[in-house]
Amino acid sequence: MAITTRATQTIKSMTPKPQQWCWYHGVIFYVVVQVLTFGLSGLVSSIKGPAGKDLRENIFGNPAYFNELKQSIFAPPSWVFGPAWLVNNISVIWGTWRVLNKPRDTPGRSSFLALQGASWLNFVAFSAAYFSLRSPINALVLTFMMFCIVRGHSWSPKALCLKSKNCQFA
């Protein structure tokens, strides 16, 4: 018995472990996403032509323009969006980090990660399409696309797997 146990331990120690993603990979990813978001927004603003009075307004948008837009009566104040998106992005990155650390053959892992990639591309494009181009139509289209991506998440095998009791994913 001891020989088989020792042999099993030796074999397990020799097999390579799957890559483990660490918390700081999520932080690096978030920083890269922010750089891409603001970089694309600034690039689109510079191609379109400066509409603001300084570089800050050209990258982040002109607050006076957006204050002139009519908002629905149930729209939250604009200062709420920064903290809300920060909490949302941290939660999404944490969940994705957990999925990345699952075995590659976990049911639904690949489709979930593909949908996550699509949602992050949508996130990066939104600022440039809406704020830099000042287009509520672009915002509508990208919001609808995000809705479709979210619906794709709920239809994915991962979501179906979460509803069962003996699921490897949960």
> pLDDT at position 77, please?
84
**66: in domain:** yes
CA distance 133 to 145: 18
**30: in domain:** yes
Structural domain that includes position 109: 21-162
* Residue 46: closest CA among 37, 55, 34, 36: 55
Number of domains in the chain: 1
**99: in domain:** yes
**126: in domain:** yes
Given pLDDT bands bounded at 50, 70 and 90, which one contains residue 108?
A: confident
**15: in domain:** no
Please tell me the total number of residues recorded for the chain in this structure. 170
**11: in domain:** no
Say if residues 93 and 26 touch (Cβ distance below 8 Å): yes
**144: in domain:** yes
CA distance 9 to 16: 13
pLDDT digits (tens, 9 = 90+) for 120-162: 999 999 989 988 888 889 999 999 999 998 887 665 555 545 4
**6: in domain:** no
pTM of the model: 0.74
> pLDDT at position 156, please?
56
Task: Give CA separation, 59 vs 35, 62, 134, 144, 165, in Å.
Answer: 12, 9, 12, 24, 48
